Chains A and B, each alone.
Chain A
């Protein structure tokens, strides 16, 4: 991404959903949803069944919408697979983090995008380079971490989270999607993981985070979207919103 890009995209949202609808059987999981996601931390909240996960699945290329389109930097982009979403600069962190337990930290960070040397045309995995780059990137997330050659199986929940986030950052993702990144973490690890997320947003990444913890989201997010029954019911500035407002939006008592 060039400097010029970042300047011109301040008016065009990095990622935009336009009139997205998705039916599961007769249930409208998403109903005419349009959202702009700009650099910073975009929080999405809503009760179970509000459509948050479906929205995230569409943005990450896991599902295709029945109607509507996704725009990346103002261009309509067909996200037919997670691979296509990645190519468009959208990285997803899944709830279970999708790490390969039997592999090392470095291998996981570079999974699917290994550093390669070609010897007589044969692609050789450049493990030393992957380890060095992974170690350097892990230092940046400021989480105590063993050497990148250690197996992921031996990490705690928070460290696994850090590996997944590092993976997203290292590849210059323009948009990072997080589905309840702290759901499986203890209190201390939650704080550390949220700090990484906040750091990422402060660096100008566009972070989209689904969460259940309203006070946490209110404190952390730069913009908050409230969903209910497959629709966006509010798009608010957390600085001028109270917890009470949010719960009202979620249950629909002031809509």
Chain B
């Protein structure tokens, strides 16, 4: 076979007129503006629409304006959990244990405060340490013992709730702390502290995942762990790291929960967070296969879910319907995100059918 200087690789999919296939053009266009940008804009659009609909439906009962802060406020704990979750999911794994991890952290924090003369600082440090440690346990089991993350975190999901119940004997434990209470319910310049905490964490996470080398490598690991490993990226450390990070976020959420309610709730308010967080992450354009998605998308996904909840509540729709609406929204969102993919596949198939008619292209079998 000749090695010819004139030979050009033409993308293998030229049409008869030598133009690249429409599907390729569309997907190149999409990748130029960025699929992530499109998803983010769509979510912002959805948010605006929901706000408008609820604003009109409630006769503008102060819905827009003061309510936006309230909407963000009602999504703070979920938001922090979702940020940890989206990073895990970009790395190609799943963390089901975040909710029960947050519950465990509330129990650890409360017990430490209770038994160490009300030292809130120690309680917070112990809570954060517990969250990071449990996250690291997840990461170790997934990265080094090579257990599927769904199975591993399903197991720890159950175990962490159990430990939280053991620590508190299954009862809510009161935490009297002015500091935690003021963080959990207080405001500064009429913005709740919890909102500020969420925004700060979100900004750090967006920056870290979008611009820094570790964030870039998480995308590589999620895209193809094998290629990343062959390129010299220490994949196992990254997997351990993202789970520890997710545990850290769950711990922050747990401590926020203690501040908000003034009690350690071993399971109340925390267990169940994981599914809502995963819903928000999926809505935000992150897939289950890893390597795609953004922190911003997850954040916007959380905002859409909170708006939906608050709005339906405001216009007096029974809460059972909220769950139905959440499910419907997730399905619609995910289907819409894949429209580009369906179209491209359909066009490829169509073009392949056209080419499948007998042509003068010689059929050559590779030498073997």
Contacts and interface: CB of A to CB of B under 8 A. Distances in A.
Contacts of A219: 1, 3
Interface stretch (A16-24, A179-187, A222-230, A244-252): A179-187
B17 interface: no
B13 A156 contact: yes
B6 to A, nearest CB: 10
B197 to A, nearest CB: 21
Given A98-B226, A101-B224, A187-B1, A124 B213 contact: yes
B10 interface: yes
B220 A111 contact: yes
Interface stretch (A4-12, A70-78, A209-217): A209-217
A125 interface: yes
B7 A94 contact: no
Given A82-B230, A101-B223, A212-B368, A116 B213 contact: yes
Contacts of A108: 227
Contacts of B227: 98-100, 108, 111
Contact of B11 (A92, A101, A107, A159): A159
A107 B220 contact: yes
A123 interface: yes
Contacts of B338: none
Contact of A191 (B1, B28, B32, B226): B1
Interface residues of A, number: 60
User: Taking chain A's interface residues, is the majority helix, strand, or loop, or is none over half, making it mixed?
Assistant: mixed
Contact of B367 (A92, A186, A213): A213
A92 B232 CA distance: 12
Interface string A190-222: 111111001000000000000011111001100
B187 interface: no
A112 B231 contact: yes
A158 B292 CA distance: 25
B9 A150 contact: no
A98 B227 CA distance: 4
A46 to B, nearest CB: 13
Nearest to B222: A102
B4 interface: yes
A120 to B, nearest CB: 11
Interface in B23-55: 24, 27-28, 31-32
Given A102-B223, A124-B211, A156-B12, A111 B228 contact: yes
Interface string A116-138: 10000011110000000000000
A114 interface: yes
A154 interface: yes
Interface in A84-107: 86, 92, 94, 98-104, 107
Closest 8 CB pairs of A and B: A112-B231, A102-B291, A156-B12, A102-B223, A100-B223, A213-B367, A158-B9, A123-B213
